[in-house]
DNA sequence: CATACCGCCGAATAATATTCGGTTTAAGTT
DNA sequence: AACTTAAACCGAATATTATTCGGCGGTATG
């Protein structure tokens, strides 16, 4: 599916304001509400956009600790990898998980109520493949730039 | 502000489905639409929820490279820190930035159209404080678990 | 007990979403 | 250029939803 300027614009707007009304969206992209809705539906069906998330201000809600953990596996077999990753992703406090190249690493972002809870999660991860996992924990001191969507303008031109 | 079960539930639901209608939301939390809307407004005004983001499937849209970069500053003065961070956050392709403890590191998530574009961004970051910055780049091979909200149930009980 | 304050509900109204038929546009074909 | 076809558009009608507002309890306070 090759997108024209209008559909890109829709994605861009919806990405940043998922609760905009269809009428406003239609205005902003220069379409009638019906056509606009039509496009949004198609974009959703094509899987190009959605789900829609509300950003919760966790810091305002309760005390938490965010940790960025880098993981190295001594046994880099596919099985070991999968075992670790499955366990990690099943833990609700592990909110993000990436497999990365370079040093066969895994990056995790973990949210815990406090350090002692984080410790437990850490232990749980270490126990998956005893002695084969090296986890380096980095406590987040400050969120300089939280994720707020992709730079579609920059990316879609290329 | 201390939240009761209903408001927590609202946050939890909105976090995962920002485009739910107020009527549906009201049903799910067991309130009338008017009361429900009232609560949502208060939560928004209190800054506990919002903005609302649409998740775009970047992989389906265009080819991109995601890199997780870990940054060490040799000069760990506040000024150097701030200078680097400001530059980094101003780059659209840097979609996420965390200051972390442990080894006075910064974590960045960067999206680029391709490697050569990433290289340019990398150079730009290195040039902020010449010779004082060490960037280690990790190309994302696989997104095991994309961020889809916080585990409020786990966190708010504590 | 009064009073005041919340938060709730339900009804009325305003705004929005959604459907649908008819029309335009664009591309490909003869 | 005229024709054909498919896709996308628009506007009006309808359905659904959001929003406002008055009134009704609960509950805390004096």
Q: CATH fold of B5-54, please?
A: Arc Repressor Mutant, subunit A (1.10.10)
- Confidence band (pLDDT; 50, 70, 90) for A30? very high
Q: Which of residues 17-36 of B touch strand D (CB under 7 A)?
A: 21-24, 33-34
Q: Does the fold of domain B58-139 match that of domain B5-54?
A: no
Q: Quick one: pLDDT at residue B69? A: 98
pLDDT at B103: 75
Kindly indicate the confidence band of residue A82, based on its pLDDT and cuts at 50, 70 and 90: very high
If DSSP codes are grouped into helix, strand and coil, which group holds residue A99? strand
Query: Rg of chain B over CA atoms, in angstroms?
Result: 20
Mean pLDDT per 10-residue interval, chain B, length 158 residues: 91 98 98 98 97 98 97 94 97 98 92 98 97 97 98 92
Bond into B122 cis (ω within 30):
no
The spacing between the Cα labelled CA in A38 and the C1' in D8, in angstroms, equals 10
Give the protein-side footprint of strand C (Cβ within 7 Å). Answer: A 21-24, 33-34, 37-38; B 6, 30-36, 38-39
Q: Where are the domains of chain B?
A: 5-54, 58-139
- A81 pLDDT higher than 90: yes
CATH code of A58-139, in short, is 3.30.70.920
Chain B: nearest CA to A131, how far in angstroms? Answer: 22
Q: How far is CA B137 from CA A70, A144, B132, in A?
A: 13, 19, 16
Give CA–CA dist A99/A52, Å, rounded. 24
Task: Place A113 in a pLDDT band, splitting at 50, 70 and 90.
Answer: very high
pTM higher than the cut 0.85: yes
DSSP SS3 for B157: helix
Q: What is the pLDDT of residue A2?
A: 75
CB atoms within 10 A of CB B11: 24
pLDDT number for residue B2: 77
* A147 vs B61, B96, B139: nearest CB: B96
């Amino acid at each position: 599916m090759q997108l024209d300027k209008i559909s890109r614009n829709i994605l861009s707007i919806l990405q940043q304001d998922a609760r905009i009304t269809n009428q406003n969206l239609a205005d902003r992209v220069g379409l009638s509400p019906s056509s606009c809705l039509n496009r949004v539906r198609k974009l959703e069906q094509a899987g190009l956009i959605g789900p829609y998330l509300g950003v919760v201000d966790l810091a305002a809600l309760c005390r938490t600790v965010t940790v960025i953990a880098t993981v190295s596996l001594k046994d880099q077999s596919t099985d070991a990898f999968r075992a670790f990753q499955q366990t990690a992703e099943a833990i609700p406090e592990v909110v993000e998980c990436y497999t990365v190249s370079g040093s066969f690493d895994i990056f995790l972002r973990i949210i815990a109520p406090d350090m002692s809870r984080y410790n437990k999660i850490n232990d749980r991860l270490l126990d998956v493949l005893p002695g084969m996992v090296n986890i380096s924990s980095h406590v987040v001191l400050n969120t300089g730039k939280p994720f707020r969507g992709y730079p579609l303008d920059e990316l879609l031109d290329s």
